[in-house]
Amino acid sequence: MSARRIAGRLVLAGGLFFLVGCAAPAPRTAVEPIIQPQRADISAARVGIFAFRSPFDDRMVESHLAHQLHQFLLARRMARVVEVIPESFRDLDQAIDRARVLGFDVAVLGQVQEAFYGGSVSTSRATVELRVVDVIRRVTVWYLRARAEADNLPAMDFLVWRTYGVNAKVPMDLVRQLLEEMSERLTLSPDQAAPTALQAQSAGRPAQPPAGALNGASR
């Protein structure tokens, strides 16, 4: 094989590597059901989504997260009425009382527990928790925790070609993806959700929210 042909193949391989290598790896996500219903049907309920709590300490961002979840749940027809409550919550009891005053049957409480941006040197991470509460009976119907990680792609320099690094995804992109996956889980029928519950139990995961989660309030 001639030297020119070998060089051509090297350049072609380098170009293909460059094209593939420049795409950042897809995020890794996992949604863990801590509490989920056996026979819950809230399709006829009025559902209110409070503004999220988060480490961003930005009311506009926290309200935006509630609106994003609102759009996902509307698309999946979670309930007869799904609305955003344009205020945050202090704790579980206060959220239940406030939702009842506003005429809701079910309240959704969301919290971003972790949001870390890895940039060009590390992995981005996000953790989100959602609690769905029957405010009439004052009991938790759903409790989900979801995590996402997204790696950066470092730059690489070879003799005949060079790849440029790609930063890891920003945490807000990860949170949005988690909210979409969590909304899908929240709208599963009990029959679909049951296998997931059995898998969680067989893995030895806790059946109640851990202390500190959403103020540690559990009912």
Tracing tokens 């049951």 back to the chain, one arrives at: 194
Instruction: Say what the pTM is.
Output: 0.75
Q: CA 113, 118, 119, 121: dihedral to nearest 10 degrees?
A: 170
The CATH class, in words, for 27-204 is: alpha beta
Q: So where are the chain's domains?
A: 27-204
pLDDT tens, residue by residue, 174-192: 999 999 999 999 987 655 5
pLDDT of residue 198: 42
The pLDDT value given to residue 68: 97
Asked if residue 137 lies in contact with residue 186, where contact means CB atoms within 8 angstroms, the answer is: no
Residue 90 has pLDDT above 50, yes or no: yes
What would the pLDDT profile of 190-216 be if each residue is shown by its tens digit? 555 555 444 444 444 444 454 445 554
Bridge partner list, 108 = 49, 132
List pLDDT tens digits, range 148-175: 999 987 766 555 555 667 888 999 999 9
Answer yes or no: are the C-beta atoms of 53 and 130 closer than 8 Å.
no
SS3 content of the chain, % helix, strand, coil (to 5): 35, 25, 35
Output the pLDDT for position 146: 98
Which pLDDT belongs to residue 19? Answer: 42
Mean pLDDT value across the chain? 80
Q: 2-39 pLDDT, tens per residue?
A: 555 444 443 434 444 444 445 667 899 999 999 988 76
